[in-house]
A = this chain, B = another copy of it.
Amino acid sequence: MPSYSPPLRDIRFVVHDLLQTERVLAETGAFPGVDRDLIDQVLEEAGKMAAEQIQPQNQASEAEGCRMEKGVVTTPPGIRAAYAAFVAGGWSGLCARPEHGGQGLPQMLAFVLNELTSAASIAASDYFGLFAMVYHMVQRHASPALQAVYSEGLASGRFGGTMCMTEPHCGTDVGLARTRAEPTADGSWRLTGTKIFISAGEHDLTENIVHLVLARAVGDPPGSRGLSLFLTPKILPDGARNGLVAVTLEDKMAYAASATCQMAFDGATAWLIGERGKGLAAMFDMVNAARLMVGSQGMAATEAAYQIAAAYARQRLQGRAPGKPAHPELPADPILCHPDVRRMLLGVRGYIEAARALYLGLGLEVDIAERHPDPARRKAAADWLGFLTSTTKATLADFGVWCTNDCLQVLGGHGYIRANGVEQLLREVRLNPIQEGANGMLALDLIRRQIPRDDGALWRRFLAELETEAAAAPPALADLAAGLAQARARLAQAADWIRERSAADPSEAGAAGTDFQRMFGLTLFAWQWLKMARVAEAGLERGNDDGFLAGKIMTARFFYRRMLPMAEGHWQSLQAGAETMMTPPPDYFWPDA
């Protein structure tokens, strides 16, 4: 059975050395007592819980899966135990307000917690993350009366929650939603409709489930502007069962322990949260949080896969090192001697560590956006999150699939065997490029909304950040600084190219989307790697490295020299424009026979 060792040293490097979390949080004044020691203690405890209480059930729960009978969903015993441990440890209320029984800690720590629990068990972490997001949605959008009813239950883990957006005929195009809401005399609403792909739609982990449902109030216009958001509990405040039921449990590629349900609402009692007709905007608070969670699951699962692959590469003896045997006393050398095995493992590290730096950096921006005393700093952080969230999700998700795939390859045929654990992780991460906005759609969001936003102000800020980072590099990292400057220039050139072409042909943005998104993602990682290398280099100059800091610089260089160059392929492909894909007539695409 695979095990998981929390990569706490790498995480601390990002949290303390790279992001200076203690200092940044202190600036907000919102987290008195949250110092380096406390943070380390939380990391330590979270890692212990993830490794010892969440991970051991992961394989068995996947094999067992959820079961459904007459609308009742039974989760695997391992999931129930993991959830109980999570709740007992107080983790469900990590960032919840103290008046709801929460610990009031920064979101950045929830981001770390999410990595650790996701690496231990994506299925379990789905429940954890979702419920926490619903708590925050209630705080942000629900009336004080609703908050009073649901906050404590969500913070304490007694209540679960869901987001109900997708319907059988609409996913990406949520404006087509047909679920309708009818007003009643007492101010509540009655919801009727069908929602699909609802994570944790029904289960046996909590005594109630708080569904956040997008629906169209009767009389409101079609399209996304006619949608409102409703809070719809499974159990009504009077203890009666509400008019909603899980009708099927999806049979999926993975996540069998996560109950993905089709939900039928049949006149279910609901309350409007947020403004009528502005439901989609409100729901996007949750979608954006979920996007970062989904992206980080790719990174976390890859970390789990990396650990299995690296351990295998150390002990598996096969073939000889190039040139001469590394271990002539053994019948063969460990496969770690083979350059191609190292290429795969280094590539995985090149992804995971940059992804973590990016992800935790955004976690800290969440705290600034929510709690900084200066409104300008709050707005700047919120804008920054808006600018980077969709591309961070897409990039972390794509690399998660590719890199977990490489981890499986390191094990050869043994990677294909279920017991060794990597194949489950690969099946799991495959959902990430689809969930919470298919990556192709997020590429359009980047090009059409984020880059032009505020007349390009955020885009210019982003380019300036890269420029600043390249300029800050010490002489020892001059090659990386030059690489970042070049990647930045190419990305800017690509954005200009798309903007100019799009004026004449609206297909150009979509045609360029994925190539541009991948260039952007590689550049994001390059930026993070130069930052990390700069911090590592400064540490090296202070002396006393046991190899850890030198390793950061090795991975940075590997990333720049062996991974970043793929951006050049995307740039060339992008310049082929829309013509190559828009010319074929529809008939071209159907099987001929």
A416–B253 touching, CB < 8 Å: yes
| Per-residue interface assignment for chain A, residues 331 to 349, with 1 indicating a CB less than 8 Å from any chain B CB and 0 otherwise | 1100010111111111000
B336–A589 touching, CB < 8 Å: yes
Chain B residues positioned under 8 Å from A588 (CB to CB): 547, 551, 554
B562–A580 touching, CB < 8 Å: yes
Bound together, the chains give a CA A47 to CA B590 distance in angstroms of 17
A213 contacts B by Cβ under 8 Å: no
A20 to chain B, nearest CB (A): 21
A333 to chain B, nearest CB (A): 9
A461 contacts B by Cβ under 8 Å: no
Q: Which residue of B lies closest to A333 (CB)?
A: B173
Chain B residues positioned under 8 Å from A565 (CB to CB): 569-570, 572-573, 576
A246 to chain B, nearest CB (A): 16
A344 to chain B, nearest CB (A): 8
Bound together, the chains give a CA A169 to CA B319 distance in angstroms of 11
A34 contacts B by Cβ under 8 Å: no
A547–B253 touching, CB < 8 Å: no
Bound together, the chains give a CA A538 to CA B67 distance in angstroms of 59
Chain B residues positioned under 8 Å from A318 (CB to CB): 170-173, 176
B413–A341 touching, CB < 8 Å: no
Quick one: which of A166, A401, A416, A510 has the most chain B CB within 10 A?
A416
A54 contacts B by Cβ under 8 Å: no
Bound together, the chains give a CA A566 to CA B571 distance in angstroms of 9
Number of copies of this protein chain within its complex: 2
- Of A122-130, A380-388, A423-431, A527-535, the segment with at least 4 beta carbons within 8 Å of chain B is A423-431
A257 to chain B, nearest CB (A): 15
Quick one: which of A435, A548, A584 has the most chain B CB within 10 A?
A584
Chain B residues positioned under 8 Å from A87 (CB to CB): none
Chain B residues positioned under 8 Å from A323 (CB to CB): 505-507
B251–A418 touching, CB < 8 Å: yes
Bound together, the chains give a CA A358 to CA B312 distance in angstroms of 35
A253–B427 touching, CB < 8 Å: yes
Chain B residues positioned under 8 Å from A170 (CB to CB): 318
A581 contacts B by Cβ under 8 Å: yes
Q: Which residue of B lies closest to A581 (CB)?
A: B342
B427–A171 touching, CB < 8 Å: no
| Per-residue interface assignment for chain A, residues 7 to 25, with 1 indicating a CB less than 8 Å from any chain B CB and 0 otherwise | 1111000000000000000
Chain B residues positioned under 8 Å from A570 (CB to CB): 565-566, 569
Q: Tally chain A residues at the interface, Cβ within 8 Å.
A: 109
A14 to chain B, nearest CB (A): 13
Chain B residues positioned under 8 Å from A555 (CB to CB): 584
A247-264 interface (Cβ within 8 A of B): 250-253
A328 contacts B by Cβ under 8 Å: no
The one of B173, B313, B576 in contact with A332, judged by C-beta atoms closer than 8 angstroms, is B173
| Per-residue interface assignment for chain A, residues 166 to 190, with 1 indicating a CB less than 8 Å from any chain B CB and 0 otherwise | 1001111100100000000000000
Chain B residues positioned under 8 Å from A166 (CB to CB): 413
Q: Which residue of B lies closest to A408 (CB)?
A: B430
A415 to chain B, nearest CB (A): 7
B171–A413 touching, CB < 8 Å: yes
Knowing A409-B438, A562-B580 are in contact, say whether A591-B5 is a contact too (CB < 8 A): yes
The one of B171, B412, B548, B572 in contact with A568, judged by C-beta atoms closer than 8 angstroms, is B572
A418–B176 touching, CB < 8 Å: no
A563 contacts B by Cβ under 8 Å: yes
A322–B171 touching, CB < 8 Å: no
Knowing A340-B514, A584-B342 are in contact, say whether A409-B426 is a contact too (CB < 8 A): no
| Per-residue interface assignment for chain A, residues 434 to 466, with 1 indicating a CB less than 8 Å from any chain B CB and 0 otherwise | 110011110110000000000000000000000
B431–A171 touching, CB < 8 Å: no
Q: Which residue of B lies closest to A502 (CB)?
A: B322
Bound together, the chains give a CA A589 to CA B336 distance in angstroms of 9
A313-335 interface (Cβ within 8 A of B): 313-314, 317-319, 322-323, 331-332
28 cross-chain CB contacts under 8 A: A5-B591, A7-B591, A171-B412, A172-B412, A176-B332, A197-B413, A310-B589, A310-B590, A313-B589, A314-B589, A323-B506, A336-B586, A339-B511, A340-B441, A342-B589, A343-B581, A409-B439, A415-B434, A423-B430, A548-B592, A551-B588, A554-B584, A558-B581, A561-B573, A565-B573, A565-B576, A566-B569, A567-B569
The 6 closest A-B pairs by CB, nearest first: A569-B569, A339-B510, A565-B572, A561-B576, A340-B440, A323-B506
A interface with B by C-beta (< 8 Å): 5-10, 47, 166, 169-173, 176, 196-197, 250-253, 307, 310-311, 313-314, 317-319, 322-323, 331-332, 336, 338-346, 401, 405, 408-409, 412-413, 415-419, 423, 426-427, 430-431, 433-435, 438-441, 443-444, 505-507, 509-511, 513-514, 547-548, 551, 554-555, 557-558, 561-563, 565-570, 572-573, 576, 578, 580-593
